[in-house]
Amino acid sequence: MLIDLSKASPISQTSSNKFETKVLDFIKEWFSDSKMVKIQTSGSTGKPKIFEVEKSKMLNSAEMTCQFLGLEKGNLALLCLPIEYISGKMMVVRSISAKMQLEIVTPSLNPLQDIDKTIDFCAMTPLQVENSLGKIHLIRNLIIGGAAVSETLKKKIWESLIKKEKSFESLSHTNNFQTKIFETYGMSETLSHIALRQIFPVTDEWFSVFGGIDISLDQRGCLTISAPKLNADVLYTNDLVEINHKRQFRFLGRIDNVINSGGAKIFPEELEKLVKQHIENEVVFLGLDDEQLGQKLTLVIEGAESDAVNTELSAIDYKKSFYKPKEIIFVEQIPRTENGKVNRLQLRALVNALPKRPQ
């Protein structure tokens, strides 16, 4: 379904499936007299909750993104994220704000499978990008959120786009657009992202914060966000970061994911990033209860165990001896939330329910 959102009025189109109906219902809600919109959190780090947000603040967020990416009237956006969450709702609001055309595709792991035209703007999860590598060259501005972009996926993105560029050159075609891909940082309380980090065609180490947003560190070393146009409250996150003089920051890990093993504090996200440079499987480090260590560093790998994977794992050079997992567990599937985030709470329960293996 294609919707023209260049007009500041409700639309009269009818839907052909359940997802399109939900999107049209949200657009109807948006153009209603109510000044508020209900948002549902993903529940990746706790119990899902619903809260209300002012439409004016959602528009402020939309304008920040559209201005940063240079989106304008007549551009074509693609919605392929669940409309229940802020990620899906903000794609609609950005399209309304910039007066764009909006293509609606039912969320799936391969949302580009039936797309054969240039898309000016799209937001996807890492899993969706993973399954759309053959067509991401069709997107001019792609933002990836919902979970961290792994080193393996970054490599695949580069290989795919460089290969496609060489294919264009060999056929004497001219690519009329430059694909730009960004990783996002944000949360429901900041009405989607407040910072972007480019990963193609330039690889940035730091997230760049939008104008009008101030960041700092609290006593724990966690990111504090002051964004009055988005949220009246100062937001205290559980994200450990490093900030530079350019108002940019680098993500280190979540403080509630920190593993305390034998008195050593370990950031699982840093170790996951390292392991993903060696194997393509999804991996998660957990701290499982242990009488001696307090928490036993455990590596959970999605997929079947194999000699090839074990060989790659044995070659990993951990900077510190206590970074090496005490146990490695293979599971068929790592639990995820509806919008693609790894659900560490469910994964911990799943692992704890497995038969104990001899040490």
pLDDT in tens, 263-321: 888 999 999 989 988 898 899 999 999 888 999 999 999 999 999 999 999 999 999 99
- pLDDT grade for 341, boundaries at 50, 70 and 90: confident
- Domain for residue 203, yes or no? yes
Q: What angle do CA 163, 69, 52 make, to 5 degrees?
A: 120
pLDDT (0 to 100) of residue 38: 87
Q: Provide the CA 316 distance to its chain's centre, in angstroms.
A: 26
Q: What is the pTM of this model?
A: 0.79
- What 3-state class would DSSP assign to 20? helix
- What 3-state class would DSSP assign to 55? helix
258: exposed, middle or buried (Cβ count in 10 Å: 0-12, 13-18, 19+): middle
Query: Is residue 163 located within the same domain as residue 298?
Result: no
Query: Is residue 123 located within the same domain as residue 40?
Result: yes
Query: Is residue 264 located within the same domain as residue 207?
Result: no
- Domain for residue 7, yes or no? yes
Query: Is residue 285 located within the same domain as residue 187?
Result: no
Q: Domain limits at 98?
A: 2-212
Whether residue 123 has pLDDT greater than 60 = yes
| Number of domains the chain contains | 2
Q: In this structure, what token pair is assigned to residue 10? A: 């409700």
- Find the CATH number of the domain harbouring 322: 3.30.300.30
- Domain for residue 251, yes or no? no
Whether residue 177 has pLDDT greater than 60 = no
194: exposed, middle or buried (Cβ count in 10 Å: 0-12, 13-18, 19+): buried
Whether residue 146 has pLDDT greater than 90 = no
Sign of the C-alpha dihedral computed for residues 197, 184, 132 and 337 taken in this order = positive
Query: Is residue 158 located within the same domain as residue 304?
Result: no
- Find the CATH number of the domain harbouring 35: 3.40.50.12780
pLDDT (0 to 100) of residue 166: 65
pLDDT digits (tens, 9 = 90+) for 183-223: 999 988 899 899 999 999 999 999 999 999 999 999 999 99
Query: Is residue 196 located within the same domain as residue 68?
Result: yes
Whether residue 173 has pLDDT greater than 50 = no
Query: Is residue 197 located within the same domain as residue 281?
Result: no
Query: Is residue 264 located within the same domain as residue 345?
Result: yes
